Amino acid sequence: MIRIEDLNLAHGGTPVLRDINLTIDRGGIIALVGPNGAGKSSLLSLIARLRPLQTGRIFIDGLPVTTTPGRELARRMAILRQDGVFAGRLTVRELVSLGRFPHNQGRSTPQDRARVEEALVQFGVADLAERFLETLSGGQRQRALVAMTFCQGTDYLLLDEPLNNLDMFHARHLMQSLRRMADEEARTAIIVLHDINQAAAYADRIIAMRDGRIASDGTPGEVLTVDTLAAVFGYRMQVTAAAGRPLVLHHL
Amino acid sequence: MTQSVPEPKKAEWRKRITLPRMAAAAALVVLVCLSLLIGADTLSPTQLANDPEALELLLASRLPRTLAALLTGSALAIAGLIMQALVRNRFVEPSTAGTAQSAALGILLMTLVFPAASLGVKMIGATALALLGTSVFMATADRLPVTQPHLVPLFGLVYGGVIGAVVTFVGWQTDLLQFIDIWTSGEFSGVVRGRYEFLWGAGIIVVLSWWIADRLTVLSLGREASIGLGLDYAWTLRLGLLVVSVIAALTVSVVGIIPFVGLVVPNIVSRVIGDNLRASIPCTALAGALLVLGCDIVGRLIRYPYEIPVATVMGVVGALLFLKLIRLRPSHA
Amino acid sequence: MHKRRLVLLAVLAVVSVAAFLTLGLRGNLAFVLQIRAVKLLALVQVSVSVALSTVLFQTVTANRILTPSIMGLDALYLFGQALLVFLLGGLGYAAIGGGWKFAAEVLIMIVLAAVLLRPLLTARLDMSLLLLTGVTIGLLFRSLTQLLFRLLDPNAFAVVQTASFANFNALRADLTIIGSIVTFATAVVCWHHRHRLDVVALGREAALGLGIDWSRTATLLLLMVALLVAVSTALVGPVSFLGLLVAALAERVLGTSRHAVILPAAALVAIILLVGGQAIFQHLLGSAATLGVVIEFAGGIAFLLLLYLGSRT
């Protein structure tokens, strides 16, 4: 369980997050949606202790993020950032293997290697395993990063716009992998999504943010209504249904 | 989804690495033999077998000199490699980031304030100043835009030059210029038994760095990725900084500044085998040792029986290699 | 406003000159004054040639942080000098007249610069890569120069120091006349074309559009820069960051980059720094040799600041 209490964040005097209180139970896909600058990525960074807390508290399975050793947290929670820049010349397999670092500190066991191979296959980068990252396309690199994050094998995955750079096939594949992970292993994915219909189709819970506040929080059916969407995104859009899920015609 | 796990592709990995490695080992043997035999009095193997004086020369001078070149070369290459992981920029090394010049300043100040102190004590001062100088560089490098990767080495080169100017100024004012020449222009001709043993410390550090190789690899992914993987980022950064500073202090005080080793060796090794430091640290250390010993031998031969300092030879060889490297660099990174 | 500040700089320059000539006078007045006057002439030449070469170079490259010495020109000149000594031998070198020597050194430098540096300037490289390459070429040729000197005279200890910092105390007197001619002629040409230089500073496209024959103008300007660098380097040695310091200070004080103002201003600032600095260091502090290092230090800091601030905007 992730618990967030009275979270506030300001950047150079401008409030970025205001009075966030959230409880996220284990298991399921939680989508963070909202317009640019709503504070989604900042919230994710704070949960992942990439930025220091200003006020408020965050607990991962009861462990406060500020004082718990980094390695302990890295075994429970993995983060995939947007635009992860990598300076080094690593092969895809070497990168994905680093996902096991919190567990083995670099000394791979046979189980670690098995998980790496599994992740390589699962995200379709097994054929690229010996290639250097800098020789890959943006989408291939993104899949390698996703494979590394999965490979960390944590209960919680924080993903910041992971569908960036992915084509439709691989975007759908990633969302289905997350779904399976949530259903079969009761793991949790907290994921910032730009495409609201991906959230509609795969998420158990949608948290809509605007101006650093939580504007709406509930199941896709509860959040994806004409009025709520208008309050969050600033214009009215039609909502229909397809395959038993809401479908937002946001482009019309 | 789970596939039967293939036996890690060790066989293939080994195939890729064996040939260069064998060649390097062969080159090492050849260079070491040359280094032991060449000098103002050239020794021949038969002489060594019969003449006790020749043997004494070998043990007192040639062997220490050869070992010093090997240790210095590998330590400098590793220091460059670690520095590149810390700054996340391919084109930095201790002598182009103010580290080596700060170490020289440290030795100079220690010599002024505690003239009677032993070399070991002076090295502590050198390490402290190297730490300080490098920290200032890193704090600034951190604020330069990542979109212009060449800005960091440029800044470092001039920054090193500014600290070098301070060293020269202090030296001038205190009539210590001759010593400064020893510290700022590296050469092995003064290395004899009893003068070089500190360099074993650098050798030990090289081995230790292999031990934390995985941590350094994670570190080179950047702050956010490191924290995400549970690395104690700040602590590892400080450890790396300390390692680089100690290597700089040791090498500068025993043999003097040798430029470009830490810059070109890790880049060339990375082109061949990549940046997984567990694999590349041994190769980098070996290649650095080869390069420095090779340049020292060239310096001994080029104007035989006189000697050209290794720093001068490396200044030419290293600058040429570096120019080649910055031109070859793919544009997207 | 510019006029007032220029006059102020001129007054300061005159004060520096007076201080240099009169501070701590002792002994045979006429004799000491004569020695000082010769030295003063050389220092003024160095000041003017460094200021002009830097401003011209920044004008051609349309760049405020680039200077001839940062691109390694003075290292090329010193290498040419060393090469000449190496080829002719120490005695042969000493036997040639100063003028021929200088001409040969300049020729070697210009050939090297045309082969190595000109392609860099026309390649439209990323700014920082251009600078890094230039600095590295400078380091390479500094090492080559050292190597040549070591090959000539394996026991020379002083080589390293003399090759890395300017010494304003040990001037090469045999070059004063040639230096004066070159510096004076270039200054006249620059002043005559000062308005045209304003157009050149706009960059290649804009200058072409305004009717400048770009390739001819740029080549001529770069030749002038090379000559001026040769003069100052021949007289005192490498002055890596003096030009940058002078150009940046002049622009800061005057607040304009119009050549009618910036050319004299840069020259005056250089005179104040060099002549005034040497007056203080030589006659007050009694350490004549260290001004070069101090200027190197201040200029290096100025370069770092410009680089840092420039990258953040």
Give per-residue pLDDT as tens, B95-109.
889 999 999 999 999
Please report the pLDDT score of residue B332 as a whole number.
39
The total of other beta-carbon atoms located within 10 Å of residue B147's CB is 9
Please report the pLDDT score of residue C157 as a whole number.
47
Q: For residues A85 and A162, give the distance between their C-alpha atoms in angstroms, rounded to a whole number.
A: 14
The domain covering A1-76+156-217 belongs, at the CATH homologous superfamily level, to: P-loop containing nucleotide triphosphate hydrolases (3.40.50.300)
pLDDT confidence band for A88 (50 / 70 / 90):
low
Q: Is the pLDDT of residue C185 over 90?
A: yes
pLDDT confidence band for A228 (50 / 70 / 90):
very high
Which residues of B make CB contacts under 8 Å with C? 91, 140, 143-145, 148-151, 153-155, 157-159, 161-162, 165-166, 168-169, 172-173, 177-178, 181, 184-185, 259, 302-303, 306-309, 312-313, 315-316, 319-320, 322-323, 326-327
User: β-strand A213-218 against A2-11: which pairing, if any?
Assistant: unpaired
* High-pLDDT (> 90) share of chain B, %: 43
Please give the residue of chain A at the shortest CA–CA distance from B222: A86
Amino acid sitting at position C156 = A
Residues of chain B in contact with residue A84, where contact means CB-CB under 8 angstroms, are: 221-222, 224-225
Q: For residues A101 and A113, give the distance between their C-alpha atoms in angstroms, rounded to a whole number.
A: 12
Residue A218 DSSP SS3: strand
Please give the residue of chain B at the shortest CA–CA distance from C291: B169
Q: Is the pLDDT of residue C206 over 80?
A: no
Please say whether the beta carbons of A124 and A170 come within 8 A. Answer: yes
Q: What is the mean pLDDT of residues B80-101?
A: 91
Q: Does B316 contact C132 at a Cβ distance shorter than 8 Å?
A: no
The minimum CA-CA distance between B108 and chain A, rounded to whole Å, is 36
Residues of chain C in contact with residue B153, where contact means CB-CB under 8 angstroms, are: 132
Specify the CATH number for B61-326; select among 3.40.190.10, 1.10.3470.10, 3.40.50.1980, 1.20.1440.130: 1.10.3470.10
Measured distance between the N- and C-terminal CA atoms of chain B, rounded to whole angstroms: 35
The total of other beta-carbon atoms located within 10 Å of residue B320's CB is 16
Please report the pLDDT score of residue C165 as a whole number.
63
Please report the pLDDT score of residue B331 as a whole number.
42
Please report the pLDDT score of residue A85 as a whole number.
55
Q: For residues A166 and C288, give the distance between their C-alpha atoms in angstroms, rounded to a whole number.
A: 67
Closest by Cβ to A50, choosing from B224, B270, B332: B224
Q: Which of B9-18, B277-286, C244-253 has the lowest mean pLDDT?
A: B9-18
Q: Which residue has the higher pLDDT, B72 or C124?
A: B72
Q: Is the pLDDT of residue C245 over 80?
A: yes
The minimum CA-CA distance between A119 and chain B, rounded to whole Å, is 9
Q: What is the mean pLDDT of residues C221-228?
A: 91
Q: Which residue has the higher pLDDT, B147 or C182?
A: C182
Q: Which of A195-204, B178-187, B284-293, C214-223 has the lowest mean pLDDT?
A: B178-187
Could you tell me if B331 lies within 8 Å of chain A, comparing CB atoms? no
Q: Is the pLDDT of residue C179 over 50?
A: yes
pLDDT confidence band for C54 (50 / 70 / 90):
very high
Contacts of A104 (CB under 8 A, 6+ apart): A112
Q: For residues A74 and B221, give the distance between their C-alpha atoms in angstroms, rounded to a whole number.
A: 15
Residue C154 DSSP SS3: coil
Q: Is the pLDDT of residue C91 over 80?
A: no
What domains can be seen in chain C, in order of their start residue? Answer: 2-312 (1.10.3470.10)
Which chains touch B (3+ CB pairs under 8 A)?
Answer: A, C
Q: What angle do CA C133, C139, C141 make, to 5 degrees?
A: 105
Residue B21, exposed/middle/buried by CB under 10 A (0-12, 13-18, 19+)? middle
Q: Alpha carbon of C18 to those of C11, C37, C284: distances in Å?
A: 10, 11, 14
Q: For residues B177 and C22, give the distance between their C-alpha atoms in angstroms, rounded to a whole number.
A: 31
Which chains touch C (3+ CB pairs under 8 A)?
Answer: B
Could you tell me if B41 lies within 8 Å of chain A, comparing CB atoms? no
Q: Which residue has the higher pLDDT, B149 or B211?
A: B211
Please report the pLDDT score of residue C289 as a whole number.
67
Please say whether the beta carbons of B64 and B193 come within 8 A. Answer: yes
Could you tell me if B10 lies within 8 Å of chain A, comparing CB atoms? no
Q: Does A74 contact B230 at a Cβ distance shorter than 8 Å?
A: yes
Please say whether the beta carbons of C44 and C267 come within 8 A. Answer: no
Token pair 């040729």 is at which residue?
Answer: C141
pLDDT confidence band for A121 (50 / 70 / 90):
very high
Q: Is the pLDDT of residue B211 over 50?
A: yes
Please give the residue of chain B at the shortest CA–CA distance from C306: B155
Closest by Cβ to C133, choosing from B178, B307, B326: B326
Q: Is the pLDDT of residue C9 over 90?
A: yes
Q: Is the pLDDT of residue A29 over 70?
A: yes
Please report the pLDDT score of residue B17 as a whole number.
56
* High-pLDDT (> 70) share of chain A, %: 98
Token pair 């980094």 is at which residue?
Answer: A70
Closest by Cβ to A117, choosing from B5, B232, B275: B5
Q: Is the pLDDT of residue B7 over 60?
A: no
Compute the half-sphere exposure of residue A45: CA atoms within 13 Å on the CB side of its CA: 16
The minimum CA-CA distance between A244 and chain B, rounded to whole Å, is 27
Report the b/e string of B225-244 with b at 16+ CB within 10 A.
Answer: bbbbbbbebeebbebbbebb
pLDDT confidence band for B5 (50 / 70 / 90):
very low
Q: Is the pLDDT of residue A157 over 90?
A: yes
> C242-254 and C2-22 helices cross at what angle (nearest 10)?
140
Please report the pLDDT score of residue A84 as a whole number.
62
Q: What angle do CA C37, C38, C40 make, to 5 degrees?
A: 60
Closest by Cβ to C304, choosing from B159, B166, B322: B159
> C2-22 and C259-271 helices cross at what angle (nearest 10)?
20
Q: What is the mean pLDDT of residues C134-149?
A: 89
CB pairs under 8 A between B and C: 121
Q: What is the mean pLDDT of residues B238-242?
A: 93
Q: Does B8 contact A102 at a Cβ distance shorter than 8 Å?
A: no
Closest by Cβ to B229, choosing from A88, A89, A102: A102
pTM passes above 0.80: yes
The minimum CA-CA distance between C142 and chain B, rounded to whole Å, is 8
Q: What is the mean pLDDT of residues C45-55?
A: 93
φ, ψ of residue A83 to 5 degrees: the values are: 35, 50
Amino acid sitting at position C30 = A
Q: Is the pLDDT of residue C18 over 70?
A: yes
Please report the pLDDT score of residue C160 as a whole number.
43
Please report the pLDDT score of residue C211 as a whole number.
76
Q: Which residues pair with A32 in a beta bridge?
A: A192, A207
Domains of chain A, residue spans: 1-76+156-217, 84-153
Q: Is the pLDDT of residue C151 over 80?
A: yes
DSSP string, A118-142: HHHHHTT-GGGTTSBGGGS-HHHHH
Please say whether the beta carbons of A125 and A143 come within 8 A. Answer: yes
Q: What is the CA radius of gyration of chain B?
A: 21
Closest by Cβ to B153, choosing from C132, C143, C294: C132
Q: Say if the ipTM goes beyond 0.90.
A: no
Please report the pLDDT score of residue B6 as a whole number.
46
Q: Is the pLDDT of residue B24 over 90?
A: no
Q: What is the mean pLDDT of residues A130-137?
A: 86
Query: Do A and C count as touching (3 or more CB pairs closer than 8 A)?
Result: no
Please report the pLDDT score of residue B303 as a whole number.
83
For chain B, the average pLDDT equals: 86
User: β-strand A55-60 against A63-64: which pairing, if any?
Assistant: antiparallel
pLDDT confidence band for B189 (50 / 70 / 90):
confident
Question: In terms of C-beta distances under 8 Å and separation of at least 24 residues, what long-range contacts does C172-178 make, across chains too?
Answer: C172/C234, C172/C235, C173/C38, C173/C42, C174/C98, C175/C98, C175/C102, C175/C231, C175/C234, C175/C235, C176/C38, C176/C41, C176/C42, C176/C45, C176/C235, C178/C98, C178/C99, C178/C102, C178/C231
Please report the pLDDT score of residue A42 as a whole number.
92
φ, ψ of residue A129 to 5 degrees: the values are: -55, -35
Q: Does A98 contact B229 at a Cβ distance shorter than 8 Å?
A: yes
The minimum CA-CA distance between B40 and chain C, rounded to whole Å, is 13
Closest by Cβ to B169, choosing from C126, C294, C300: C294
Token pair 């043993």 is at which residue?
Answer: B197
Please report the pLDDT score of residue C169 as a whole number.
66
Tokens of B159: 């920054």
Measured distance between the N- and C-terminal CA atoms of chain C, rounded to whole angstroms: 28
Q: Which of B13-17, B311-315, C22-26, C291-295 has the lowest mean pLDDT?
A: B13-17
Q: For residues B103 and A77, give the distance between their C-alpha atoms in angstroms, rounded to a whole number.
A: 42
- The pLDDT tens digits for A34-52 are 999 899 999 999 999 888 8
Please report the pLDDT score of residue A15 as a whole number.
92
Of B274, B215, B279, nearest in space to B243 by CA: B215
Q: Is the pLDDT of residue B261 over 60?
A: yes
* High-pLDDT (> 70) share of chain C, %: 91
A161: left (phi over 0), alpha (psi -120 to 50) or beta: left
φ, ψ of residue A24 to 5 degrees: the values are: -120, 115
